[in-house]
Amino acid sequence: MRVKDKSIIVTGSGGGIGEGIARRLAAEGARVIVNDINAELGEKVVAAIVKAGGTASFFAADVTQSDEVKALVDAAVQRYGRLDVMVSNAGWTHRNQPALEVSEDDFDKCYAINVKSIYLATIHTTPVFRSQGGGSFINIASTAGVRPRPGLTWYNGSKGAVITTSKSLAAELGPDNIRVNCVNPVFNPDTGLSAEFAGGPLDEDRKARFRASIPLGRFSTALDVANAVLYLASDEADFISGVCLEVDGARCV
Ligand X SMILES: NC(=O)c1ccc[n+]([C@@H]2O[C@H](COP(=O)([O-])OP(=O)(O)OC[C@H]3O[C@@H](n4cnc5c(N)ncnc54)[C@H](O)[C@@H]3O)[C@@H](O)[C@H]2O)c1
Interface with ligand X (CB under 6 A): 11-12, 14-18, 36-38, 41, 62-64, 89-92, 113, 140, 142, 185, 187-188, 191-194, 197
Distance of CA 192 to the CA centre of its chain: 14
Instruction: Give the nearer residue to ligand X in terms of CB position, either 133 or 208.
Output: 208
At its nearest, how many Å lie between ligand X and the CB of residue 35? 6
Helix and strand counts by DSSP (H, E) for the chain: 9, 7
CA gap 38, 17 in Å, rounded: 15
At its nearest, how many Å lie between ligand X and the CB of residue 82? 22
- Residues shown for the chain: 253
Question: What phi, psi does 27 have (nearest 5°)?
Answer: -65, -25
Residue positions annotated with a catalytic role: 155
For 139, 150, 219, the CA distances from 91, given in Å and listed in that order, are: 10, 19, 19
Instruction: Give the nearer residue to ligand X in terms of CB position, either 175 or 253.
Output: 253
Instruction: Give the nearer residue to ligand X in terms of CB position, either 25 or 63.
Output: 63
At its nearest, how many Å lie between ligand X and the CB of residue 167? 17
CB 62 within 8 A of CB 38: no
At its nearest, how many Å lie between ligand X and the CB of residue 190? 8
To 5 degrees, how large is the angle CA 129–CA 132–CA 138?
Answer: 30
CB 112 within 8 A of CB 118: no
